[in-house]
Amino acid sequence: MRFLVCLKQVPDKDSRYSLDDSSCWIKEQDLTFETNEADLYALEQALRLKERHGGEVVVLSLGDDRVLKCIKHGLAMGADCAIHLRVPGSGWRDAFATARVMAQAIRRRSVDLVFAGVQSEDLAHAQTGTILAHFLGWPHATIVLEVQVDPDFVTIVVKRELEGNLFERCQLSLPSVLTIQSGPNQPRYPTLKGIMQAKRKEIVTLTPEDLGLRDQDLRATGSRLVPGRLFFPAKKKRTVMLEGSDEEMAGALIEKLRKEAKVL
């Protein structure tokens, strides 16, 4: 079986943001980037399926050359090869346009199962994988925790998360697209050997032109959404921020919880 995993590069979770001059995007220079967490869980699922059933794991990332870090990390974790969908620049990206380019690249290969994350940590559209399934004309399932390939290799059974402690088991025919949610299968860390081997693995670079797509198919201008200004949210509550040394803050908190809020 051939598994393909979409890896998106996003700013580090603990990033502190500031806005650029347009106020429509963040200053990226000072940030560090990592692989979207749900995507690492997706890759872990794919690697486990490959270990069990054989086959190949391909990782795919769309972005400028910065995303090569993400691709190399995926290869070091154990993926066999990679596709870099190279598009210029960074900034806000439309899920519709991203999925369209990905579908074009995936259609050209024989892939049995595509994995994406449930949602990206930066833009959080929670859409790309599902729209990708639409473009490919394949079934999909979202918020997936576990995947089992049926013995016939024609169908799979997945466990999905529903709200309020409910879970759904459903069967999908292959090929299909799954969006993966974090869960007990913790993503592995690359080993030293994995990192060494990754250097020899193939990375295919494709541009939208290579795929017969025009620029407007993937930039925001080709989409039906216009991103506007970014801003820091206003607080909903009047939060009392405690000040001083750790000792002073801890003391003040206990005091306030007893005397002011009367909850201790």
Ligand X SMILES: Nc1ncnc2c1ncn2[C@@H]1O[C@H](COP(=O)(O)O)[C@@H](O)[C@H]1O
- Classify residue 252 as exposed, middle or buried by CB count within 10 Å of its CB (0-12, 13-18, 19+): middle
Residue 95 to residue 77: CA distance in whole angstroms: 26
- Secondary structure of residue 104 in the 3-state scheme: helix
Q: Which of 14, 152, 243, 247 is in the footprint of ligand FAD by CB under 6 A? A: 14
Indicate which of ligand FAD, other proteins, ligand X, none lies near residue 98 (CB less than 5 to 8 Å, by partner kind): ligand X
Closer of 81 and 126 to ligand FAD (Cβ): 126
| Radius of gyration, CA atoms only, the chain | 21
- For residue 113, list its beta bridge partners: 3, 176
Calpha distance 204→63 (Å, rounded): 13
* From 199, 200, 224, 259, residue interacting with other proteins (rule: CB under 8 A): 224
* 232: contact with other proteins by CB under 8 A: yes
Contact call for residue 64 and other proteins (CB under 8 A): no
Question: Which of 119, 120, 127, 179 touches ligand FAD (CB under 6 A)?
Answer: 119
Q: Is 223 in the site for ligand FAD (CB under 6 A)?
A: no
Residue in 88, 167, 191, 202 binding other proteins, rule: CB under 8 A: 167
Tell me the C-alpha to C-alpha distance, in Å, between residue 143 and each of 88, 112, 161, 243: 30, 19, 6, 41
Nearest approach, Cβ of residue 168 and ligand X (Å): 20
Block residue for tokens 């070091």: 76
Contacts of 192 (CB under 8 A, 6+ apart): none
Residue 103 CA to residue 144 CA, distance in Å, equals: 20
**Residue nearer to ligand X on the CB measure, 36 or 78:** 36
Residue 13 near ligand FAD by CB under 6 A: yes
Phi, psi (5° rounding) for residue 16?
Answer: -105, 125
* Cβ at position 248, least distance to ligand X in Å: 41
What residues between 124 and 163 interact with other proteins by CB under 8 A? 124-127, 130-131, 133-135, 138-143, 157, 161-163
Using CB under 6 A as the binding rule, the residues of this chain from 144 to 183 that contact ligand FAD are: 181
Q: Give me the residue label for tokens 């994406």.
A: 116
Q: Name the one residue in this structure whose structure tokens are 């991203």.
A: 98
Closer residue to ligand X (CB): 172 or 179: 179
Q: Which residues bind ligand X (CB under 6 A)?
A: 6-8, 36, 38-39, 61-63, 95, 98, 116-117, 119-120, 123-129
Tokens representing 78? 């154990």
> Nearest residue to ligand X, using CB?
117
* Torsion from C-alpha of 204, 102, 154, 163, nearest 10 degrees: 130
**Least distance CB 259 / other proteins (angstroms):** 12
Question: In the complex with ligand FAD, which residue's Cβ is closer, 209 or 243?
Answer: 243
134 DSSP 8-state letter: H
Shortest distance in whole angstroms from residue 259 CB to ligand X: 45
Bridge-based pairing of strands 81-86 and 56-63 is parallel
User: Which residues pair with residue 69 across a beta bridge?
Assistant: none
111-130: contacts with other proteins (CB under 8 A): 118-119, 121-127, 130
Applying CB under 6 A, which residues contact ligand FAD? 13-14, 118-119, 143, 181
